[in-house]
Structure 1
Amino acid sequence: MTTATLGTWRKPPLAYVVAELVISPHYSIGSAIPAIQDALRREYPRTVEAMEIHVEATAAPTPSPAWRLLSADQTRGVQIGAKSISLHATSYTDSETFMALWSHVLNALGSADLQPFVERAGIRYVDLIVPSEGRSPREYLAPPLQGMPTPPEADMQHCMWISSYQIEGVTVQTRTATPTPAGAVWPPNLNALPLQKPAVLLAAEEAIQSGQRIGFIDTDCQAEVQTIFDPADLASVYSKLHEKMSKTFDTLISDLAKEEWK
């Protein structure tokens, strides 16, 4: 059983992190894969060919090739496709480490001289709520997010809150589920790579199997970029995104959550 975790908290709820660039369709990106492989091979020695399914509002879903470069311990993966490039992780030391890993990927893309047009930059954190004995998932959210009042005898089956706001050019979208629908762990639209499971995910799966309720906090920060790819400029964009992510998460969780997790 892995004990991998994300971050430095005493009992971190963070289960999955994604940094992503959405690019204007770059259909010759496959020709640059060998150079990117060479630049990243030490950290991501395994390559898996895959297919991405793109869903457009005005057309049928279309598949396109993608490449996954995976770390030897399978706790991190880089996915490269014609419309997006992303780094996925289920284990790292702290946020600075993750940003350094992402910067390394961006520099590898830069050295391959792809020069894609970047539409949007984003970072997404998915935290799992596994309540301690005698607690309910909703108690880990800030009081305004704990849901509608119910009769004492009611058994809440599923409760989700969704919000979106903009601050200093960043769009922040949050989703909370306390509890999640029966049997569900991840948010419904998370396209997770088959990475090593962190400790909190194993705990969540065990809780579900024993009939307990869990929850999630899904935070997604995005910024429009609309410029030619430049690793240095993007580093500052992601620094800003992470700042908004961190501040948002602190507003979403309760004092109980901070006491148990930090």
Structure 2
Amino acid sequence: MPELIPQIHDLLRKEGFPEDVSSTVQQVIITPDGMPQIIPRKQDEFRSKDNKWSLVISEDMLVLVTTAYDRFEGFADRLKRSLEIVDQVAGINQGLVNRIGLRYVDVINPQPGETFRNYLQPSLHGPTSSVFTDLNNWLHLESVGRTALGTMIVRITQNDQGVVLPPDIIHKPMIYKMKVEAGKLITLVDSDHFVEGSWDYDLPSIINTTNELHETINTAWFNDLVTPEALKIWGAKHVES
């Protein structure tokens, strides 16, 4: 893959990824004796001019990230085109697919007079106890479960530093559509849905699977995670199962 990257980037420039922000990252590998081994590895990453779209390519993965998400269809089109370009140069259709995943980070930013409790179902408010002397204790919840397609992890975290993305997603800052001033408590709902196995590479199947991952996340989010009040505020509706 390394010798093919320049040719791949030449094609990606025409698809809205002209900026090369590649860097060296530290990869941690656990050896058979249980000792961690740190290996430096180049991470090829290309971004849009406005720094709102990122495409990471390595020998074993392709990751598309955006901080300007609008509709799934637009995201899926960019993902499909990115895979087509990499396949055109590197012939990845000759290999196997081991994992397909889709991850959303939604930010709950309450208006004056509101809290995150107006938006999340009561089961996600955390424990209540007389031992807590501060009613503003922060949430850090994680739920892992099987779905009809694969596995979904839902993480709910809070911070007052204005951080709208988990630190593991982006190593270099991007331009965010949402800006939150430090000092205000916000809630991140991180929905990570993926399927693992071993299949022949098939682009229509990959895009179809990604769409199914998206539909399941939508169902969980709009039907089970947020309140009727939140749906009304956002002008959203329950998803038909």
So what's the TM-score if we normalise by structure 2?
0.84
Higher relative contact order (CA 8 A, sep 6+): 1
The residue identity in structure 2 corresponding to 1:144 is: S
Identity of aligned residues (%): 25
Going from structure 1 to structure 2, the CA distance change for 1:192 and 1:125 (only over 3 Å counts) comes to farther
Instruction: State the alpha-carbon separation in 2 of the partners of residues 91 and 100 from structure 1.
Output: 15
Which shifted more, 150-159 or 114-123? 150-159
1:2-151 matches, cutoff 5 A = 29-42=1-14, 43-58=16-31, 59-115=36-92, 116-151=95-130
Pick one of 205, 208, 213 that aligns with 2:185: 213
1:199-210 matches, cutoff 5 A = 200=178, 202=179, 204=180, 206=181, 209=182
Aligned length: 225
SS at match of 1:60: strand
The residue identity in structure 2 corresponding to 1:158 is: W
Query: Is this contact kept in 2: 1:126–1:219, CA < 8 A?
Result: yes
CA positional deviation for 1:45: 1.3
Which residue in the other structure is 1:222 paired with?
Answer: 194
The residue identity in structure 1 corresponding to 2:11 is: A
Instruction: State the alpha-carbon separation in 2 of the partners of residues 164 and 213 from structure 1.
Output: 25
The residue identity in structure 1 corresponding to 2:195 is: A
Which residue in the other structure is 2:234 paired with?
Answer: 261
Which shifted more, 182-191 or 242-251? 182-191
Query: Is this contact kept in 2: 1:142–1:253, CA < 8 A?
Result: yes
- Consecutive unaligned residues in structure 2, runs of 5 or more: 236-241
Asked if 1:170 corresponds to 2:131, the answer is no
Instruction: State the alpha-carbon separation in 2 of the partners of residues 174 and 242 from structure 1.
Output: 14
Asked if 1:249 corresponds to 2:221, the answer is yes
CA positional deviation for 1:69: 1.2
Deviations 1:7-49 (A, max 9, x none): xxxxxxxxxxxxxxxxxxxxxx112212321222121111122
So what's the TM-score if we normalise by structure 1?
0.78
SS at match of 1:99: helix
CA positional deviation for 1:190: 3.0
Deviations 1:42-92 (A, max 9, x none): 211111221233233333232211111111211101011233210110114
CA positional deviation for 1:192: 5.0
SS at match of 2:30: coil
Query: Is this contact kept in 1: 2:160–2:186, CA < 8 A?
Result: no
